[in-house]
Structure 1
Amino acid sequence: MQVKTFSGASSQEVLAQIKAELGADAVILSNRTYRKNGELCHEIMAGVERPAQQGGAGMPVSAGAAPAPSSGAGWSEWHKDWMRVKEQLFMLMKPAIRMERLTPRQRVALEYLQREGVSDGVSIALYNMLAARPGASVLESLAGIVPIRSWGAAAWPQRVHLFAGPYGNGKTTAALRCALRLRKEKPEMQIAFINTDCLRGNGRLTLRHWAELSDFGYLEAADAESMRKALALTAEADAVFIDTPGMTPERNLAQWQHEMGIDEQPHATHLVMCPFYDGVQMQALLHRYAADGDTSLVWTKLDEAVCYGALVNVAHEARLPISAISYGPELKQSLSPATEPMIWRLIFKRQLPIQSGE
C-alpha cells in the first residue's frame, strides 16, 4: 500500500489533494486538526493499493457512487474498503452542512428523511440542491434523486420483460401482478410467461397455476437452447414476461442474460427489491443485478416495512426509476404503478396506496 500524509487549510482542500494524487480508491487511515503559528491546519493520512495491473486507476468518482470493479473477483473486500472511504468522506463533510442556510420547512424535511434511514450521501446531495436554490421545494429536489416511470404499456412498450431479484423478495408474484395490471389496461393483450427458475418447485407451481388461471401462456426454459425455442413459441404474444432465477456472486445478471441469449432481444429489466436490506447488502445486490438498457425498480412487501428511506437510497445509488410498488399478500389489488404523489405519501406519511384509496 502507498501511504502519504496530506495537509491543508481545510478538510475539503486536503481531500481534493488526496483525490488528485492517489485517486478515488484511496482509504483514509487517520485525520487530525491542529494549530500551527496560530492557524488551523488539517492533516489526513491516506493510502491506496497499487496492483501491478490496475486499469483506470485514479479515475475520479463522486462521494456517493463507487466505481464498479471489472469482474466479480474480490468484490466483497473491494466493497468493504470503498464503504470505509465513503464513511470517512461523509464524516469530514458533515460539519460543513449548515442547516441554518435552509428554510424551516426544508430543515424539518431533511431531518425527517435522516430519521427515516436516508443515507448520508443522499442527505448531502439533497442539502446541496436546497442550499443552491433558496426556497426550493423539497419534493421538486427529491424528484431529481428519485425518478418515477410508472408501470404501463405507454412507459414500458418493450415486448420482453425480465423480472430479476433475490430469492424471497416476491419476484414471481410481482411479475404476475404487473402482467395482470397490463391485462387490466389492455384486455386484448396476449401475454406469455417463460419460467427460467425451474429448480424451485413452489415458485414454479405458483407461476404455472396463476398463469393458467389468468389465460397467460406458460413455458419453461432451463438453458439457452430451450430459451431460444420458448422465445420462438411466444413470438405472437404482445408481451413476454421472463421470471429469472436468483443470481450468485459467481454469476451476475448480465452474465446470465448473455449465456441465455436474452441480451440479443430488445427487452426491459425490472429489479424486484424489498426494503429490509442494510446499505452494504443493498449495494452488493445492485452490483449483482446490474442490467443494460431500460431498467426499473419494483418495490415489494412495503406493508411489512416500518420506514421507507431505502426507496430513496436505492434510487439515488442505482440511478433507476421506480415503476411499481407492491403491498399485501393478495395477488390482485396489491400493486400500483408508481407516481410521485404516491411515493411522497409513502415516504413522508407512511401511507400505502390501499390506505389512501388509490
Structure 2
Amino acid sequence: MQVKTFTGNSTKEIMARIKEELGPEAIILSSTKHSRRNGANYEIMAALDDPAQVPPAEKPLATTHSDDLRDLREEWSRLRNQVMSVLKPQMDLGLLTPRQQIVLEYLEREGVRQDVLMDLWTRFRRGPHESTLSVLSGMISATPWLTQNWRHKFHFLAGPYGSGKTSIALRLSLAVKKNRSETRIMVVNADRSQGKGRLYLRHYSELSGLTYRELVNIEQWGSLAREAETHDLVLVDLPGLPGTENMSAWLNRMSCGTLPPVHMHLVLSPLFGAAQMDNFVSRMRTDSTASIIWTKVDEACNYGEILNQARITGLPVSLLSVGPDLKNSLVQPTDQDIWKLLLRHELPAATN
C-alpha cells in the first residue's frame, strides 16, 4: 500500500492534489485541521492499494444473490452514464424560472451528477409554479437515528477506512446513554487490522461503562447473539475491507451464515470523490442496509455526494457528525437541514 501525507491551506486544494498524484481510487486515512496565526492549515493522509500486494481473492463456489446485485448496480451505473451523455444537451435551462436555473447550476458546481440534475430539471418542469424547496423535498429523506424505532438491536457500521466508523460507534453509544441512561449497550470491534482504532474503542468503551467485545474468528462471531442477549443495543464496527472484497460475502464467511437480524448503516464522508464513493457503496451495501451516516461534514468543501447517494441508493440519511469531540457532535438531520447544508453550506447544530 502506498501511503502519503498532503498538507495545504484548504481541503479542496489537497483533495485535488491527491486525485492528481494517487488517482480517484485513493483512500483517505485521516484528516487533521491545524489552527495557526496566519490561518488554518490542513493535513490529509491518503493511501493507494498496490495491486501486486493484494492477495488473490478466494474463488466463490457459486454466485450469490449479493454478487448478482452488485454486478447489476455496476452495469446500471455504466448505462446511466451513457444515457446521460445523450440527454444532457436536451436539458434546456431556458425552460426554467431564474431561481430554478440558479439552484440547478449551483448543485452542478457542488458535484451533483448529471442524472440527478436531469431528475431535478424534470421535477422543475412538472411543477413550474411550485416553490423550489417543495420540489427539492422529495429528492432526499432523513430518518433521525436516535428517535427511529429500529426493529433490531444489532447495528453494523460499514464503510471505508478513515470514514469515522469507530468514532460513530462511540458517539452513538454516548448519545443513547445520554437520552436513555438505562440502555444496556455493547460495542463490538470486528476490525482486527486497525490496532490503534481497536485500542481507542476499547479504552473509551470501558471509561463510559459500555460492554466491549472483539470478533477475531468464526467462533466469536458464532457466539455474538448469545453474548448480546442481556443487552438492548449492539453496535458493531466492521472493517473497511480490501478493494476487491464484498461485505456480504465477508460477513457470510465470518459468521458461517448465522448472523442475527441486523440493520446495516453505511458510514461515508463527503471528502471522498465520486468514483471512490461508487466503489465503497457497491462493495459495502448489503440487503440489510438501512441508512447512510455522513461524517466529517465540517471538513468538506462540497456536499453533492450526499444528494447523489440519496438518489442512487434510495437510502435515508440518519446522522451527520461535525467536529472532533465524542460528545455533542451528532446531528439528527431533517430534510431542511440537509438542503441548508447543500445550498448554503450551513452546518446544523450538533445536539447529541
**How far did 1:251 drift?**
2.6
Alignment of 1:105-116 (within 5 A): 105-116=99-110
Q: Which residue of 1 aligns with 2:293?
A: 298
Is contact 2:169-2:187 (8 Å) kept? no
Match for 1:337 among 327, 332, 349?
332
**How far did 1:263 drift?**
6.2
Describe the superposition over 1:267-289 as per-residue Cα deviations: whole angstroms up to 9, x where unpaired.
11111001122222211111101
Paired residue secondary structure (1:144):
helix
Q: Which residue of 2 aligns with 1:255?
A: 249
Q: Which residue of 1 aligns with 2:263?
A: 268
**How far did 1:79 drift?**
8.9
Q: Which residue of 2 aligns with 1:316?
A: 311
Alignment of 1:1-358 (within 5 A): 85-261=79-255, 264-354=259-349
Paired residue secondary structure (1:296):
strand
84-93 or 114-123, which moves further after superposition? 84-93
Aligned-partner Cα distance in 1 for 2:217–2:166: 19
Paired residue secondary structure (2:288):
coil
Aligned-partner Cα distance in 2 for 1:81–1:268: 26
Is contact 1:103-1:135 (8 Å) kept? no
Aligned-partner Cα distance in 2 for 1:352–1:183: 25
290-299 or 99-108, which moves further after superposition? 99-108
Describe the superposition over 1:187-234 as per-residue Cα deviations: whole angstroms up to 9, x where unpaired.
110101111112321000000011111111001111221022233122
Paired residue secondary structure (2:213):
strand
Paired residue secondary structure (2:145):
coil
Q: 1:133 to 1:241 in 2, by over 3 A?
A: same
Describe the superposition over 1:104-149 as per-residue Cα deviations: whole angstroms up to 9, x where unpaired.
2222211111111111011001111111122223333333221211
Is contact 1:153-1:182 (8 Å) kept? no
**Structure 1 unmatched ranges of 5 or more:** 1-68
Q: Structure 2: which amino acid aligns with 1:201?
A: G
Q: 1:87 to 1:153 in 2, by over 3 A?
A: closer
Q: 1:71 to 1:354 in 2, by over 3 A?
A: same
What TM-score comes out, normalization by structure 1 length?
Answer: 0.74
* Greater relative CO (CA pairs within 8 A, separation 6+): 2
Aligned-partner Cα distance in 1 for 2:179–2:265: 19
Equivalenced residues, count: 289
Describe the superposition over 1:169-195 as per-residue Cα deviations: whole angstroms up to 9, x where unpaired.
111101211222222221110101111
Is contact 1:297-1:320 (8 Å) kept? yes
Is contact 1:220-1:230 (8 Å) kept? no
What TM-score comes out, normalization by structure 2 length?
Answer: 0.75
Identity %: 35
Is contact 2:66-2:248 (8 Å) kept? no
Computing the radius of gyration from Cα coordinates, the structure with the larger value is 1
Aligned-partner Cα distance in 1 for 2:70–2:229: 41
**How far did 1:337 drift?**
1.3
| Aligned-CA RMSD value | 2.8
